[in-house]
Amino acid sequence: MTSHNSLKQRAKSGATVVSAVFLLLSLIVSLSAFVLFNDGQVDRVLFFPGARTARVTGELRRLPGLGDDREDLRLLLNEVILGPVEIQHGRLVPRGTRVRSLIVNDGIAFVNFDQGILFEAPDQQLALEEVLDVLRRTIRYNFRSIERVVFTVNGQLPSQPFFQIQPPPEVEPVETP
């Protein structure tokens, strides 16, 4: 009878070893596949207002990591301009909006939009300042190294008096005697 019990114990321990080896191999294969086939993708969270309310929530996007903060930020902004994927989210900025220029320097991002951002999207629930706050939140959430974001529209600060550089007035030459 003892030989029968010892056979059962050996079979149980053998099954345990086989299960452990199989689990370990599965883990190794999964990690290898993750490392090899990740293709430099980065998880980004884009914030959008609700389709029917102004309540802002995040939407996860998997974007290619380009290796340069400026280009990664440009891609993120273009994704925000494309709009939400999830049906419960509404558009944040009008579709025709373009990023004219973008500079990232010493923890500050300077984003210059064209005038398209000033036009209201048909389903947009937020005022321009609120839109810029949501954009700022999206940028700072995804790029921890950016401490401050400065937005301009056609080179002008929004909600500020128009600034234009005037050429100096022409001065008539003074004749010397």
As a whole number, mean pLDDT of residues 89-101 equals 92
Closest CA to 90 of 133, 143, 39, 47: 47
- Listed in sequence order, the residues at least 6 apart from 105 whose beta carbon sits closer than 8 Å to its beta carbon are none
Is it the case that residue 66 has pLDDT exceeding 70?
yes
Can you read off the two tokens belonging to residue 127?
């005022």
Can you read off the two tokens belonging to residue 51?
């389709």
How far is Cα 138 from Cα 93, in angstroms, rounded to an integer? Answer: 13
Of residues 30 and 138, which shows the higher confidence score? 138
What confidence tier does 147 reach under pLDDT thresholds 50, 70, 90? very high
User: What is the predicted pLDDT for the residue at 122?
Assistant: 59
Can you read off the two tokens belonging to residue 95?
């579709």
User: What is the predicted pLDDT for the residue at 48?
Assistant: 94
Which amino acid is residue 29, in one-letter code?
Answer: V
Closest CA to 122 of 99, 97, 91, 98: 91
Which amino acid is residue 143, in one-letter code?
Answer: F
